Amino acid sequence: MRRRFRISICCCPVIAILILSLPGQDRPQSGSAEPWAQQGVIHNAASPHALLHSVPVRAVRLGRGFWSARIEANRIRSLPSLLTLLEEHGVVDNFRRISGRTQVPRRGPLYTDSDLFKWMEAAAFVLQSGDAPEIRASLDKMIDEVAAAQDKNGYLNTYYSLERAGERFTNFQHGHELYCLGHLIQAGIAYYRATGEKRLLDVGSRYADHAIAVLGPGKKPAFTGHPELEMALVELYRTTGERRYLEFADYLLNAERPELNLNERDAAYAFSGIPFAKRTKFEGHSVRAMYAASGAADFFAESGNAAVRETLERLWTDLLTRKMYITGGIGSRSSGEAIGEPYELPNEQAYTETCAAIGNTMWNWRMLSITRDARFADVAERALYNGVLSGVSLSGDLYFYRNPLSSLGRTERRPWYSTTCCPPNIQRTLASLPGCFYSTSARGLYVHLYHNSQLDWHLEDGRRLRVAQQTDYPWTNVVDLVVSPESASRFSLFLRIPGWCGKARVSINGKAEQKPAASGTYVEIERDWRPGDHVRLELEMPVALIEANPRVREDFGRLAVMRGPLVYCLEGADLGRISPFDVSLLVGKPADDSFSTEFRPDLLGGVTVIRAQAMAAATSSVALPLYRMFGRQESSGGPQIEITLIPYYAWANRAPSEMEVWLPWARRN
């Protein structure tokens, strides 16, 4: 495939940004006046309790760099290969059998409709970045197949049709009907925002109207079982202005439903069925919990419900202080794919489903929009770079369902899982990512994520604004921005100073800013901006050693290594015959002189590796007895070696291999 490049030389001679024009992405359409073209990933421009407002995907063009490589692989490899697999495994035929276009048995679990809908949403987000004829043709074909399967009354679910039509809306706990409906709605909204066409949106709206007609107050009591529909209903309300969708979301999130006779265990597992504001902690199924919290944050943005807002904060504190992995992953138990007890964070047995990390990212992105608080952006970034990205191979066609933090070498990526929720979920996340880099507020522009990019948008008073960003983040610590309003204007530029950054410096047109740039905040630069003004942000990015709370027993006496937003790991592929389980970090005084970094363009798509001194065990652990008398063993000290740590997201891209994130350590003499 031939790449085409466009050079854009900015007004400031310091910056010359190389913009990567992916094939079919030459027309971002950011200046379109059509309402559908102005809407972001979440369309909260009119949400009364949203403090930050989304920028459309089409308004941001990514240049060459970390995320553009992932997004390109997503477009040219991930989406086509997964659609082929969805066809091969009968997911599309499940719709054709309903419409009468084929006569085959239904295949796959009862929730497979959602896998196709997520693929469709991902394809639609690709189209929001520009024209992609092959993806557009495939998506239009899928829309035709889905629409042809819809009942006259609006119902659409391939499992509860034909021979199972009598079972509709009878199994809210495990049936996934409302979950699938939510993903259908979101696919329809994404397609509408890509093209202005309402074909798929109308299919989802009709099904939503049918559900509202038969479920809810004074009708059949219901709950989502697997939350997802709540987010979709709020977004459908934002898109159509029809208040019944917001009211049904309110019912699903907040209504008392004693007639359901839900036992405590079922309600905890599903994270739905009881009023959201009564939740005091995260428990149960990790993805359901993250999606419920995301829907509640969306609902608060429209309603201002104080009890919901207080619960969101309470749950966030519970997660961040006791239940989240260092990677941003969620869910420690394979049983029930569940969040465990406080500090229950095993490494090799970590379930940490990719979808849960995606849910964590979505939730924190929504919390950021209703608070402007950088701590939520910090968590979203951590989950995105580590817990989410680890779920897909560099090639884009192999996936992890689980993302452990330690492996004996048996974990490998697969092209297909019988439960195929994670691959299309990653695909829609990556395809929508350009819409998460910037937000606007009444005061100006917020910059959340750093990457070579060009923003072509406007301030909230309508003044046009272009921002060109150049950086090799997360490998390097310098970000250059050229700010170009259409004419000299006074507004604020807010730059995120990540929580992992000890010190940051900001300069404007070569002159250092005197305002403090505290970590874990947004630094505000309010001034009269002129076209071509140059801002430089320098972030302190040392190698950092992290220790866990001593109650996390598996990590006691161990350290994790981070640099910038990235968690690092030790992989067997970089150790030869030595096992990661037989290595201890050697840490000097001060610790920061124990490590060096090197960018390796030839390794894993181009990564910065961390080199460290370590001590190998004198005897391989596999040669030792299972138990032995304390004090009678030989010294465990062995030869000193140099080890190479790689970013956690990139492990298992060479071959199945042993891997460790948390490493034992010893003081270097």
Backbone φ and ψ for 101, nearest 5 degrees, come out as -80, -15
Helices (H), 255-353: 264-270, 286-303, 306-322
SS3 content of the chain, % helix, strand, coil (to 5): 40, 25, 40
For residue 175, which of 215, 148, 204 has the smallest C-alpha distance? 215
Catalytic residue among 355, 421, 422, 569: 421
Distance CA 664, CA 587 (A): 10
Contact 101, 83 (CB under 8 A): no
Characterize the bridge pairing of strands 511-512 and 658-660. unpaired
Cα–Cα dist 453/63, whole Å: 5
Q: What secondary structure does DSSP assign to 550-564, as a single string? A: TTSGGGTTEEEEEET
Give the distance from CA 516 to its chain's centroid.
30
Both tokens of 389, joined, read 């990205």
Cα-based distances in Å from 31 to 24, 179, 456: 18, 35, 8
Query: Which residue in the list 235, 337, 538, 571 is annotated as catalytic?
Result: 337
- The conformation of residue 440, written as its DSSP 8-state character, comes to E
DSSP 68: H
| DSSP code per residue over 390-403 | GGB-TTSS-B-SS-
Given phi > 0 = left and psi -120 to 50 = alpha, else beta, which region is 404? beta
For the question of residue 421 being annotated catalytic, the response is: yes
* H or E stretch covering 4: strand 4-9
Q: Is the Cβ–Cβ distance between 529 and 483 less than 8 Å? A: yes
User: Where are any strands of DSSP class E within 382-531?
Assistant: 406-408, 438-441, 444-447, 453-458, 464-471, 478-485, 489-497, 504-508, 511-512, 521-529
The Cα–Cα gap between 469 and 254 comes to: 42
HEC assignment per residue over 622-636: HHCCCCCCCCCCCCC
d(CA 256, CA 274): 6
The torsion angle over the Cα atoms of residues 495, 501, 504 and 506, rounded to 10 degrees, is -20
* Helices 286-303 + 306-322 axis angle, to 10: 150
Active site (annotated) includes residue 34: no
Q: Kind of pairing, strands 663-667 and 583-587?
A: parallel
- SS3 call for 241: coil
Spatial distance between the Cα atoms of 53 and 379, rounded to a whole number of angstroms: 19
φ/ψ (deg, to 5) at 597: -125, 155
Closest by Cα among 270, 125, 265 to 189: 125
Q: How far is the C-alpha of 559 from the C-alpha of 540, rounded, in Å? A: 21
Q: Is beta strand 595-600 parallel, antiparallel or unpaired with respect to 4-9?
A: unpaired
The residues annotated as belonging to the active site are 337, 421
